[in-house]
Structure 1
Amino acid sequence: MNRRFKAEHLLLGILIIIALILRLGMALKFPNIFWADEIFQSLEPAHRLAFGNGIVTWEFRDGIRSWVLPGILAGVMRLTAWMGEGSTGYLIGVNIFLSLLSLSNILVAYVWGKKIGGTTTAFICAFICTIWFEFIYFSPKAFTEVVATHFLLPGIYLGVQKDLFITRNRLFLSGCFLGISLALRIHFIAAIAFALVYICGRDWCNKWLPMIFGILAPILIFGTVDAFTWSYPFQSFWLNIWVNLVEGRSKLYGVSPWYEYFIFLLKSWSWLSLPIVILAVIGFRRIPILGWLALIIILSHSLLAHKEYRFIYPALPMLLILAGIGTGELVLKFSRRWSSPQPKIIAIVLSLLLWTSTSVALLSRFNIYAPLNFSTFGTNLEMTHLYATANHLLALKSLSTEENVCGLGLWDINWALSGGYTYFHRDVPIYQVDKETDFKVLNSGFNYIVANLPLPSQYQNYTLEKCWQKTCIYKRPGSCKEIKEREINSVLQMSGN
C-alpha cells in the first residue's frame, strides 16, 4: 500500500511538473495577445501600480474594474523584476504565478477522477488537463475569467465531497473559492447560484449559512478595495453591469448571435467535438454538476450580445474532466475482459496517446476567428493564435532595455495590440501614428518607432535597427520634445477609449 501510495503521488507530481513546463514554455516561446483585455484590464494597470506608468483605458478611468487582481499582479511584478532585464523579468514572474494557479485544475481532475474510478481514471483526467492545448495556451494569460476558473473548480469539488473534513469548515472554504471566482467574474453568478442550490439543497443551517458566509467574505474584500480605490464600495460590480448591460457599451466591441459559443467550440475542436462530447456525456452520469454548470455558463453568456471565447473558459475544464471520466470508464471496462495487467496498460497508453495527438492536432489549427472548417490539422502554425501580434510584443520587449529611448511611435500598429508599457517598460511617451501627416506633427516626439509599414520616404533620418518579419524598429538621432495632447493617454481620454 505504501509503495502504491508513493507511486500515485509520484505520477501526479510528474504531471504537475510537465504541466508547468508546458505552460511556461508556451508563454515564453510564443508571446501573443488573444484579446487586448489580457494586457489592458490586468497587466497594464498592474504595471502602473508597480512602476508608475501605463496606458489607462476607459474602464480604469470610469471605475468599472476592480484593482484586486492588478494589485496582486503588481506585487508579483515588483518581486520578480530581478529575473531579467527590461520587461523580461517580471513577465516571466507573472507567467510563473498564473501557471502555478492553473495547477489547481489538474489537482481537482485527479482527486475527482480518483473518487469516481480509482487511480486509472484519476491519472487519465489529470493527464488530459495537463496536455490539453487550450489550458496550456490560456493558463499564463491574465484574464479574469481564466483566473476565476482556478478557484471555481476547487470550490465546486469541496462543496460536493462530503468526506473530506468537518462539514461547516469544508463548505465555508468552498464558499470562499466560489466567492473569489464570482468577485473576479460577476457574470458567473448564474452558475454559482446553481452550484449553491445543488450543494446545499434544503439544509439551511448546516450548509447554506457556512457557504454564504464563505462567498461573502472575498466579495466584501473586493468591495472594500473598491471603496478605497474608487468612489463607492462594490463600484466595480454594479457599474460594470450598468455600463455594459444597461448602457450597452460592450456592444461597441461586437455583437454575435446566441449560438456563437457553439460555433466557437466547433472552430476550436473541429469534428473531434463529437467524440469529446460523447465521452463527456458518459462522464456526466458520474458527475452531473459539472455538466450542468458547463451548460449554464455557455447558455448564460449566450444571452449577452457581446461574446468572446474566453468568457466560457470555465466550461472547458469541466467538459474535459467529464470526458476524462468517460475515457477512464471505457478503459476500465475494456481491461476487465483480461486477467493480466498488460491489456490494461496498453489501453491506458493508447488513450493517452489519442488525447495527446488530438491536442497537438487541434493546436496546429487553433484560430477561432478563422472561417469554420472541419480539418484535423492546420497547415500554417503562424496563422494560429500562437503568433497573434507576437512581433509587436517582441519589438517592444526589445526596446524595454534601450536606455536612450525618449519617445516611441507606433506606425500601422494599434495601441491595443502593442503590448503597452507592460512590454515596453520605458517611462517615456507613446504616440499613435496613423497617417503620414501624423509624422509631421509627431516626429519630434519620438526617436524610436515600431512599424508594420515602411516609413514615408521623406524621413530618411531614421535607420533600420531590427525586424521581426514585417514589424521593424527604426531609430533617429537626437532628442524628443513631449507633445502632451498627442501622447497615448491623452488621446484615449479625449476619444473615450
Structure 2
Amino acid sequence: MTTTMGEKPDTPGNARLWFWGLLAMAVVLRIVAFNAYSAHHPDETIQYLEQAHRIVFGYGVVPWEFRYFIRSWLIPLMLVPPMALGEWLNPGGTLYLVLPRAMIALLNFTPVVAAWYLGARLSRQHAIVAMAVAAIWVECVYFSVQTLSESLAVACFLTAAALLHANARMSAIAAAGVLMALAGLMRFQFGPAIAAYGIMIAGKDLRLWKGLIIGGLPVVIGGAAIDIAMGLSPYQWIVTNYQQNIVEGRMKRIGGVSHWTYAQAVIAYWKWALFIIVPLAALAWRENRALMIAALVNILVHQLIGHKEYRYLWLSMHIVLLVAAMGSVNLLHLLAERHGWRVASGKVFTTTLVLAWGAASLALGLTPTYQLDWRKSGDPSRLAAAALSNPKVCGIAVPRKQYSLFGYSLLHEPKPVFLLRPTGQQSLATPGIAASGFNAALAWEQDPGPGGIWQKLECMGGARDRICLYRRPGGCRIDQGNRHLLYQETLHRVDM
C-alpha cells in the first residue's frame, strides 16, 4: 500500500521558503551564541585579537608564537579595520571588540549557504537538510562565532567546494581558487586536505585547473607580501612553525600526544550522536567522495602531529556532518522504497528530518560539555576590564594560568597587568612586596584571595569560572620586586 505524505519541497516557492527560513534561524542562533568576550581557545584572544589591538592601539602582549614568528599576520590584519572602526564609532567603549568578532562571525556564516548548494547537487531535499544541519547544529553555531583560524579556514573551504564543479563558470572557479588558497593560508595544516579535494574535483580538467590557479596565485603572492610588510621572509613562518613544533618538540611538551586523543574528543563532543552520524555519512559518501577524502586526509595529517586538539579536526567533522545530513535523506528514500511511500521528498518527511536533526543538536547543546566546558564565558575578562576602567585602579593582578582571559585586547586599558599564581610567595593569596605594583586583584572564588588591607568587592561568572575582585587603598609602583611578574615579562620568562 502506498501513501502520499505532503507535497514535495522541490517547488521554487517552497524551496525559497525553506532557504530563507533556515537562513533566519541560523542568524538568530548565532546572535544568541555571540559573546564578544568568550573564547573556545586562547589563540582567539592572544594570537589574533591581541595582535590587532597592538597595531590599532599601540599596546598589547606578544606571545611566543609571534616572538618566534610561527604565525601569519593575515588574521590579525583582517581584524584591524573593524577594530579601528569600532573605536572611532564608540571611543572607549566595547565596539572595538564587538565589530571584529562580528565580522568573523559573518564570514563564518558562509558554510550555511554553501551547504544548500552542495546538497542541491543531489536534490532540493538534500539541500534543505544539509543547510538545516549547517544552520542549527550546536558545533556549527558555536564555531561560527569564535575567532579561530580553523573556523575561518573551514568557511573558506566549504564555500569553495560549493562553487567548484565541472560546469561552473570561470569566475566561480577562480573564486574557489581564491577561497581554497585563503583556507590554506589561514590554517596551513589543512593544506593537504585542500589539495586532495582540488585534485579529485579538477582531475584532468584543464579549465578547472586554470581557474583555480588564476584565483589562488594572487592569494599566495599576497600572503608573501604580508610577510614582507611585517618584516618576515615569505612563508618563513611555516618553516619556523615546523622547526619549533615538530623538530624541537614544543607541541609534544604542551600535551595531547596520545594516539587516542581525537577518538576520545569526538566521543566526548558527539557522544551518542556519533553512532548515528557516522552510519548516515556512510550512506552518502559516494556522492561526496571528494569531500570525504579531504576529511580523511585532514584526520591522518593531524594524527601524525604530536599536539592534538579537537578544533584541528573541525574541517573533517563539519564535512562528516554535512555528508551525514545528505545520508539521512538517502536513508529516508531507502525506507520509502521498502515501505512503498510514494512521496518520500514530501513536506512532512522533510520537516521530520529537519526536526530530528534539530532535536539531536538541542540534546547535545544542553549537556555540560557545551553549556559549561566548550568555551569560557568571558565573565572574568569583563570583571577585569570593569576594574581597570576605574580611574582609582592603577594596576591589576590576575591568575597566571588563565592569562589569555586578561589580554589587553579584552581589558582595553594601558595599565600594568601582573600574572600571579594562586598561592605561595608573591601570589594572589600572599602578594607581599609584589603588591606595590597593583591595587586591584582577581582570584578564583575557590582560591584564597589577598587578606589584610585587601577588601573583597564583587564576584562574577558561573560555577566553574567564578572570579572575585579585591581592592586595597593606595597607588602603584613598579620596581625590581615586582617587574618580573608583569604580563609580558612573565611570558618571556617562562617562554609562553
Shorter-chain TM band = 0.7 to 0.9
Larger displacement relative to structure 2 (445-454 or 173-182): 445-454
Residue deviations 1:218-252 (CA, integer Å, cap 9, x gap): 12211111112133122222211222122222112
CA distance 1:340–1:114, change in 2 (3 Å): closer
Residue 482 of structure 1 is matched in structure 2 by 478
Return the match for 2:79 from 73, 93, 116. 73
Residue deviations 1:181-227 (CA, integer Å, cap 9, x gap): 11111111211221222122234x43334323432321221111111
Q: Does 1:385 align with 2:381?
A: no
Q: Does 1:454 align with 2:457?
A: no
Return the match for 2:167 from 163, 179, 184. 163
Residue 253 of structure 1 is matched in structure 2 by 254
Residue deviations 1:48-67 (CA, integer Å, cap 9, x gap): 11222212101111211111
Larger displacement relative to structure 2 (394-403 or 358-367): 394-403
Cα distance in structure 2, aligned partners of 1:461 and 1:282: 63
Q: What is the deviation of 1:333?
A: 5.0
Q: Does 1:109 align with 2:115?
A: yes
Residue 375 of structure 1 is matched in structure 2 by none
Residue 409 of structure 2 is matched in structure 1 by 422
Which residue identity lines up with residue 423 of structure 1 in the other structure?
Answer: L
Cα distance in structure 1, aligned partners of 2:368 and 2:281: 21
Q: What is the deviation of 1:474?
A: 1.6
Q: What is the deviation of 1:270?
A: 1.2
Return the match for 1:43 from 49, 53, 76. 49
| Equivalences for residues 44-63 of structure 1 within 5 A | 44-63=50-69
Conserved 8 A contact 1:463-1:476: no
Secondary structure in 2 aligned to 1:283?
coil
Cα distance in structure 1, aligned partners of 2:325 and 2:316: 14
Cα distance in structure 1, aligned partners of 2:378 and 2:101: 16
CA distance 1:451–1:85, change in 2 (3 Å): farther
Conserved 8 A contact 1:87-1:397: no
Residue 406 of structure 1 is matched in structure 2 by 394
Cα distance in structure 2, aligned partners of 1:301 and 1:109: 25
Residue 186 of structure 1 is matched in structure 2 by 188
Q: What is the deviation of 1:353?
A: 1.9
Q: Does 1:12 align with 2:19?
A: yes
Q: What is the deviation of 1:4?
A: 4.6
Which residue identity lines up with residue 82 of structure 2 in the other structure?
Answer: V
Return the match for 1:445 from 418, 437, 448. 437
Q: What is the deviation of 1:83?
A: 6.9
Residue 242 of structure 1 is matched in structure 2 by 243
Q: What is the deviation of 1:308?
A: 0.4
Return the match for 2:30 from 20, 23, 29. 23
Secondary structure in 2 aligned to 1:134?
helix
| Equivalences for residues 284-363 of structure 1 within 5 A | 284-332=285-333, 337-338=340-341, 344-363=346-365
Residue 373 of structure 1 is matched in structure 2 by none
Conserved 8 A contact 2:130-2:322: yes
Cα distance in structure 1, aligned partners of 2:357 and 2:296: 23
Cα distance in structure 1, aligned partners of 2:467 and 2:84: 30
Which residue identity lines up with residue 486 of structure 2 in the other structure?
Answer: E
CA distance 1:265–1:255, change in 2 (3 Å): closer
Residue 5 of structure 2 is matched in structure 1 by none
TM-score, reference length from structure 1: 0.88
Gaps in structure 2 of 5+ consecutive residues: 1-9
Return the match for 2:199 from 194, 197, 200. 197
Cα distance in structure 2, aligned partners of 1:95 and 1:7: 34
Cα distance in structure 2, aligned partners of 1:397 and 1:89: 14
CA distance 1:348–1:403, change in 2 (3 Å): farther
Q: Does 1:149 align with 2:154?
A: yes
Conserved 8 A contact 1:87-1:422: no
Secondary structure in 2 aligned to 1:182?
helix
Secondary structure in 2 aligned to 1:481?
coil
CA distance 1:71–1:332, change in 2 (3 Å): same
Which residue identity lines up with residue 409 of structure 1 in the other structure?
Answer: A
CA distance 1:112–1:432, change in 2 (3 Å): same
Secondary structure in 2 aligned to 1:20?
helix
Cα distance in structure 1, aligned partners of 2:212 and 2:254: 36
CA distance 1:302–1:87, change in 2 (3 Å): farther
Q: What is the deviation of 1:465?
A: 3.8
Residue deviations 1:406-445 (CA, integer Å, cap 9, x gap): 21111x4524342411221111111012245311232111
CA distance 1:15–1:400, change in 2 (3 Å): farther
Q: What is the deviation of 1:344?
A: 2.8
Cα distance in structure 2, aligned partners of 1:273 and 1:495: 40
Cα distance in structure 2, aligned partners of 1:277 and 1:426: 48
Residue deviations 1:10-60 (CA, integer Å, cap 9, x gap): 43233223212212311329x543221121111111111122221210111
Conserved 8 A contact 1:227-1:234: no
Conserved 8 A contact 1:16-1:103: no
Q: Percent identity?
A: 27
**How many residue pairs align between the two structures?**
473
Cα distance in structure 2, aligned partners of 1:200 and 1:95: 35
CA distance 1:425–1:437, change in 2 (3 Å): same
Gaps in structure 1 of 5+ consecutive residues: 368-377
Q: What is the deviation of 1:467?
A: 3.7
Cα distance in structure 1, aligned partners of 2:461 and 2:121: 50
Return the match for 1:468 from 458, 461, 475. 461
Name the one with the larger helix percent: 1
Cα distance in structure 1, aligned partners of 2:477 and 2:47: 30
Conserved 8 A contact 1:33-1:417: no
Secondary structure in 2 aligned to 1:312?
helix
Cα distance in structure 2, aligned partners of 1:403 and 1:219: 47
Q: What is the deviation of 1:174?
A: 1.6
CA distance 1:218–1:404, change in 2 (3 Å): farther
CA distance 1:94–1:18, change in 2 (3 Å): farther
